[in-house]
Amino acid sequence: METESKKYEIAYLVSPDVPEEDVVRVAGVVTKLIADVEGTVRNITEPRKRRLTYPIKKARAAYFGITTFSAGKEAPAEIMKKLKFEKEILRALVVEEEIQPVRTSFRTHWQPAESGIPRREPSRKEETSLTAEEREAAIETIDKKLEEILG
């Protein structure tokens, strides 16, 4: 029975105690774990040393790497279970890649579906048109009030 394959991303932190030459080996361990659960690796970002925002297991820096892969629904749990036994990996997180939502056009007002619910029409305020003299008088009044307030 074939399971549906989903796209995942695993982000992991490798201990700074690991020599720089061995960091690629640890990334290979993550790749091997993905292969063990019959996943397909799509992209590997080589781990680079980063300063951590807060200490993790007394480490202030770590090598941060990301690997994207496709696998069955049970794969993330299996990978995380096996990663707990890897001493070089401080933390790891597997997330499902988001599917980009389809953009829809913006509606100016609420429009219910064709389900028999009466439509609510948008409220419209009566527009008052001012003459040029009334507009100037209103501006002068506002200016006077501003002068009183501001001194």
| Segment 38-94, tens digit of pLDDT | 999 999 999 999 999 999 989 999 999 999 999 999 999 999 999 999 899 999 999
What pLDDT does residue 127 have?
57
Q: What is the pTM of this model?
A: 0.62
Task: Match 């619910």 to its residue by tokens.
Answer: 117
d(C-alpha 27, C-alpha 31), whole Å: 6
Q: For residues 65 and 9, is the Cβ–Cβ distance under 8 A?
A: no
Q: What does the pLDDT average to over 5-14?
A: 92
Report residue 132's pLDDT band, with 50, 70 and 90 as the boundaries: confident
Q: Is the pLDDT of residue 150 over 60?
A: yes
What is the predicted pLDDT for the residue at 1? 41
Let me know if 145 is exposed, middle or buried by CB neighbors in 10 A (0-12, 13-18, 19+). Answer: exposed
Asked if CATH classification 3.40.50.300 holds for the domain at 6-96, the reply, yes or no, is: no
Picking from 44, 49, 46, the residue whose alpha carbon sits closest to that of residue 15 is 49
Structural domain boundaries of the chain? 6-96
pLDDT reported for residue 124 = 59
* pLDDT, position 138: 87
Residue 120, CB half-sphere, CA atoms under 13 Å: how many?
7
